[in-house]
């Protein structure tokens, strides 16, 4: 149970090659498992650039002259940045990286 967030994160990253909807479901499940297992959440060292990107996107949608509904698809995709958070929180050391690369076909 302790490694469940790791396995779900790995599956979400790999599933995007086959099915975007399956990857989205696994991404949500990985986040839920991470919170349920009470693992420490580690933010990657890209907080400032990512925050500026989010802010610039919201400002661009707001100032575009279009309705929020027309700009919503761009904002809705912000959840994909959860992959950064999940990978940095669940892949803890080099053994995790070696184990995941050994599992994936080369």
Instruction: Please tell me the predicted confidence (pLDDT) of residue 105.
Output: 53
- Tell me: pLDDT of 42 over 90: no
Between these two residues, 100 and 83, which has the higher pLDDT value? 83
Over the Cα atoms of the chain, what is R_g?
A: 16
Between these two residues, 44 and 33, which has the higher pLDDT value? 33
* 60-83 confidence digits (pLDDT tens): 988 988 888 888 888 888 888 889
Q: What is the dihedral of CA 81, 63, 59, 31, to 10 degrees?
A: -30
Number of C-beta neighbours around residue 5 at 10 A? 22
- Tell me: pLDDT of 106 over 60: no
The mean predicted confidence, pLDDT, of the chain is 85
Instruction: Please tell me the predicted confidence (pLDDT) of residue 1.
Output: 78
């Amino acid at each position: 149970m302790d490694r469940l967030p790791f396995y779900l994160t790995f599956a979400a990253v790999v599933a995007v090659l086959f099915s975007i909807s399956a990857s989205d479901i696994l991404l949500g499940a990985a986040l839920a498992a991470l919170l349920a297992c009470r693992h420490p959440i580690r933010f990657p060292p890209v907080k400032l650039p990512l925050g500026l990107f989010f802010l610039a996107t919201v400002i661009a949608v707001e100032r575009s002259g279009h309705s929020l509904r027309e700009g919503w698809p761009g904002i809705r995709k912000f959840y994909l940045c959860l992959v950064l958070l999940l990978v940095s929180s669940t892949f803890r050391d080099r053994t995790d990286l070696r184990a995941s690369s050994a599992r994936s076909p080369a």
